[in-house]
């Protein structure tokens, strides 16, 4: 049994209130102005620990970055919300060869799951456009300010005839997308593999013109783009990630316009992490309804939460919540729903 925490607004106690926020789901939605004080404090404090700007900088003079939706204006000698300055051919990134089939959000619908004896080039970016308090890969923050950078040419050397997938994740590829696009274009030219799928796992925060290029690369290569739709309610989304979800939902709609060019294998896939106390059946129903209204055949995966980062005090996702959310997604009209990370369910 996890320790009970008290909501600083309504006073109720629950194991599903994250201490870092100090407010419950209901108060975030029903009293957003009161909750904003606690949310702002949580994100300012947690970003300061890693030397990151509390908010996207908007300097009167500086580099205007249009790579992601934060659209930072970065003063000389400083960095954007992600901790970086824009670059095309160099990135804060690492990679490794992951034997196929691999643990992928899309493994249940992706043809790569049948590529036994081949590899996925897993490309892990060391920066992100969000500040997810529950981040499952939060260790990338320890690498954001390391001086080492890698070039497109460095990463091309990792390709061999047995690499049939490239998957960009992190962190998030959105803040270093020009680098990823350049690598992908050159990789498709030089690869000796029978095919090379270009895939993305992203929060969807990228500039729309860059998004279209990313989707096109997945479209022609047989890959996919996987959107992590973290929450539906904008106040819950900001509480969990530090940013709003307006641009993400807009980008998701734009990406889905490409589906008619290649219905199968699925081009666009969505997932949601079931964070106890914050991402519940109502959130999932609203996300699933949004997806279903675009195309009910879009695959949607619900992922079990494991306590991490600043939300270590929350419990793991329960079986009851996972299967209730599954039913909510189906009830909202989606035809292809799956639960991932089942081994974590309590």
- Residue 142 structural domain: 86-344
CB 336 within 8 A of CB 297: yes
What is the full per-residue pLDDT of the chain (346 aa) written as tens digits?
568 999 999 999 999 999 999 999 999 999 999 999 999 999 999 999 999 999 999 999 999 999 999 999 999 999 999 999 887 779 999 999 999 988 889 999 988 888 889 999 999 999 999 999 999 999 999 999 999 999 999 999 999 999 999 999 999 999 999 999 999 999 999 999 999 999 999 999 999 999 999 999 999 999 999 999 999 999 999 999 999 999 999 999 999 999 999 999 999 999 999 999 999 999 999 999 999 999 999 999 999 999 999 999 999 999 999 999 999 999 999 999 999 999 999 8
| Residue/partner pairs of 74-79 with CB below 8 Å, 24 or more apart | 78/53, 79/52, 79/53
CB 124 within 8 A of CB 166: no
CB 82 within 8 A of CB 128: yes
Which of 126, 181, 125, 191 minimizes the C-alpha distance to 157? 191
Q: What is the pTM of this model?
A: 0.96
Question: 32 lies in a domain?
Answer: no
The token pair at 341 is 């990370």
Which of 131, 138, 204 minimizes the C-alpha distance to 170? 138
Question: 72 lies in a domain?
Answer: no
Number of domains the chain contains: 1
Question: 167 lies in a domain?
Answer: yes
Question: 4 lies in a domain?
Answer: no
Residue identified by tokens 């709003």 is 244
Question: 177 lies in a domain?
Answer: yes
Question: 243 lies in a domain?
Answer: yes
Question: 66 lies in a domain?
Answer: no
Strand, coil or helix: what is 63?
strand
Residue identified by tokens 């998030």 is 172
Residues 6+ apart with CB under 8 A from 153: none
Residue identified by tokens 């599903």 is 16
**Share in percent of the chain as helix, strand, coil (round to 5):** 35, 20, 45
Question: 8 lies in a domain?
Answer: no
Which of 212, 321, 310, 210 minimizes the C-alpha distance to 261? 212
Instruction: Kindly report the CATH number assigned to the domain that includes residue 90.
Output: 3.20.20.70
CB 258 within 8 A of CB 211: no
The token pair at 260 is 């008619």
Buried b / exposed e along 62-72 (16+ C-beta atoms within 10 A):
beebebbbbeb
């Amino acid at each position: 049994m996890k320790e009970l925490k008290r909501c600083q607004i309504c006073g109720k106690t629950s194991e599903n209130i994250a201490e870092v926020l100090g407010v419950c789901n209901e108060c975030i939605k029903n009293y957003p102005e009161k909750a904003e004080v606690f949310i702002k404090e949580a994100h300012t404090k947690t970003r300061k620990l890693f030397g990151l700007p509390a908010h996207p900088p908007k300097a009167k003079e500086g580099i205007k970055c249009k790579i992601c939706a934060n659209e930072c204006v970065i003063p000389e000698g400083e960095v954007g919300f992600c901790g970086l300055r824009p670059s095309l051919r160099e990135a804060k990134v690492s990679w490794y060869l992951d034997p196929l089939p691999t643990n992928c959000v899309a493994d249940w619908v992706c043809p790569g799951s049948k590529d036994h004896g081949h590899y996925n080039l897993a490309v892990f970016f060391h920066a992100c456009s969000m500040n997810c308090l529950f981040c499952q890969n939060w260790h990338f923050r320890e690498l954001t300010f390391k001086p080492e950078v890698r070039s497109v040419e460095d990463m091309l050397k990792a390709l061999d005839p047995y690499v049939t997938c490239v998957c960009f994740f992190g962190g998030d590829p959105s803040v270093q997308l020009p680098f990823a696009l350049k690598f992908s274009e050159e990789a498709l030219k030089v690869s000796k593999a029978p095919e090379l799928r270009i895939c993305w796992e992203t929060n969807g925060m990228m500039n729309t013109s860059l998004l279209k290029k990313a989707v096109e690369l997945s479209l022609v290569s047989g890959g996919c783009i996987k959107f992590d739709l973290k929450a539906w309610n904008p106040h819950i989304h900001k509480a969990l990630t530090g940013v709003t979800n307006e641009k993400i939902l807009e980008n998701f709609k734009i990406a889905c316009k490409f589906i008619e060019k290649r219905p199968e294998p699925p081009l666009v896939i969505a997932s949601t992490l079931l964070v106890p106390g914050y991402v519940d059946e109502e959130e999932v129903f609203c996300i699933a309804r949004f997806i279903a209204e675009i195309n009910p055949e879009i695959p949607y995966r619900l992922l079990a939460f494991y306590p991490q980062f600043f939300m270590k005090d929350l419990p793991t996702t329960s079986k009851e919540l996972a299967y209730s959310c599954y039913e909510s997604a189906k009830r909202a009209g989606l035809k292809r729903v799956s639960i991932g990370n089942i081994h974590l369910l309590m």
